[in-house]
A and B are shown apart, each in its own frame.
Chain A
């Protein structure tokens, strides 16, 4: 057997950590192509009642002894984040995100719930994403 081979047991049940260090859940499935039997993606169980998530293998940075590290931050983590302007004015809370269909996991715009209703904010207007979101 090849030295760098691992088995499904080495991945299933492991924690999944994104590029920002967030624990997303545990690996519960592997997706393989039927003809070549190569792994294409992993499925993440985010816990009781939470919707699962499938992550393509191109977003997997490495599989370590205790966890699977991703090289991205999934867009769903932007939900419920607060949005502030560059001067610190509170705009609202993220209720939805739209994806750039030409690139996977690329943000197109945020749907923010404000006092005056829902508002779309383009990804170009975002300065920093961290604990919350700060605009340009």
Chain B
């Protein structure tokens, strides 16, 4: 039995180096810091990371499929996580701010969503549900398509 293989040592990275490093999206948004590195307890393979977003925000688990690269500086994600849409203003096709994203109904195990739950402006009235195909563009704000339907919750 071989205890050490030099080439394997060079091809692998120390997981502990990842702890406390920033987690950055492709567009440069710093999601948080790596709090924990998760390894499968049967296969011993690296499975994902737990991200600490701050004192008052929930920790987030990100699977290895969404990680593009790991370096001494940061963990780079391969795509913009949909949970980052929470808190963004939602603007109608006509340019009126209709509210803010309260919740993203995510498709299980995918970085995609079915609909957004939008809290109305000034918190007056019920929240709306907006389907994914009614969203025109996503940037600093979310702009809806012409004739987008707002379903009351």
Interface residues of A (CB under 8 A from B): 14-15, 17, 19-23, 64-69, 81-90, 127-134
Q: Give the nearest-CB partner of B24 in chain A.
A: A88
B27 interface neighbour in A65, A66, A89, A130, Cβ under 8 Å = A130
- B7: interface (CB < 8 Å): no
Residue numbers in B under 8 Å from A133 (CB-CB): 28
> A108 to nearest B CB, angstroms?
20
Residue numbers in A under 8 Å from B75 (CB-CB): 88
Flag if A88 contacts B74 (CB, 8 Å): yes
Bound CA–CA A18/B62 (angstroms): 31
Residues of chain B from 52 to 69 with CB closer than 8 A to chain A in the complex: 69
Residue numbers in B under 8 Å from A131 (CB-CB): 25, 27-29
Q: If the complex has contacts A84-B74, A87-B73, A88-B73, are A69 and B95 also in contact, measured as CB distance less than 8 A? A: yes
Q: Give the nearest-CB partner of A16 in chain B.
A: B95
Bound CA–CA A134/B29 (angstroms): 10
Bound CA–CA A100/B75 (angstroms): 33
Residue numbers in A under 8 Å from B94 (CB-CB): 64-67
Stretch binding the partner chain, chosen from B35-43, B109-117, B124-132, B135-143: B135-143
